[in-house]
């Protein structure tokens, strides 16, 4: 994904901080605020936590970044690039992406990487009838 392009298309200025945040999220796959901050600090000692927070909000609003909420874990963020499911280890917390196909994901989860998926969390987002009317 071209970050500069994505920022421009959403009316967000291309700043080195923003690009660094996006790169860091991409590098990690799924990053917490703290992880993003700590890592960017190394090459960018002046960056502020407030900048991370403010940008995460802008980037989520622009749909360049998506929240990943996992049970018992801190909120994470990922680059928004195509729908996929997540697979989480209930022991070590490892979080991975997995192809999102209605028929295949159970199979995929069981055979290739995890055994005995114990619980599936699914949430569907959309406009409810009432909000559609308004």
Partner DNA sequence: CTACATGCAAATTTTTTGCATTACA
Partner DNA sequence: TGTAATGCAAAAAATTTGCATGTAG
Cβ-proximal residues to 30 (8 Å cutoff; 6+ apart), any chain: 68, 76, 77, 78, 95
Smallest separation (angstroms) from a second copy to the CB of 55: 16
Instruction: Give the three-class secondary structure for 98.
Output: strand
| Residue 38 in the binding site for a second copy (CB under 8 A) | no
Rg (CA), the chain: 17
Q: Would you say 28 or 84 has its CB closer to a second copy?
A: 84
From the list a second copy, DNA, none, which binds 118 (C-beta under 5 to 8 Å, kind-based)?
a second copy
| Residue 105 in the binding site for a second copy (CB under 8 A) | yes
Q: Are 63 and 57 in contact (CB under 8 A)?
A: no
Q: Which of 1, 57, 81, 89 binds DNA (CB under 7 A)?
A: 57
From the list a second copy, DNA, none, which binds 133 (C-beta under 5 to 8 Å, kind-based)?
none
| Residue 46 in the binding site for DNA (CB under 7 A) | yes
Cβ-proximal residues to 12 (8 Å cutoff; 6+ apart), any chain: 18, 58, 59, 62
Q: Would you say 58 or 80 has its CB closer to DNA?
A: 58
């Amino acid at each position: 994904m071209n970050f500069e392009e994505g920022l421009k298309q959403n009316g967000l200025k291309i700043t080195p901080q923003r690009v660094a945040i996006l790169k860091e999220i991409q590098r990690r796959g799924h990053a917490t605020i703290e992880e993003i901050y700590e890592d960017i600090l190394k090459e960018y000692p002046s960056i502020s936590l407030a900048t991370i927070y403010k940008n995460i909000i802008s980037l989520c609003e622009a749909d360049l970044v998506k929240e990943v909420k996992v049970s018992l874990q801190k909120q994470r963020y990922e680059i928004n690039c195509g729908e996929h499911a997540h697979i989480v280890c209930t022991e070590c917390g490892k979080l991975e992406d997995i192809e999102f196909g209605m028929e295949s994901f159970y199979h995929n989860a069981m055979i290739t990487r995890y055994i005995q998926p114990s619980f599936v969390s699914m949430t569907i987002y959309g406009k409810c009838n009432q909000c559609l009317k308004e």
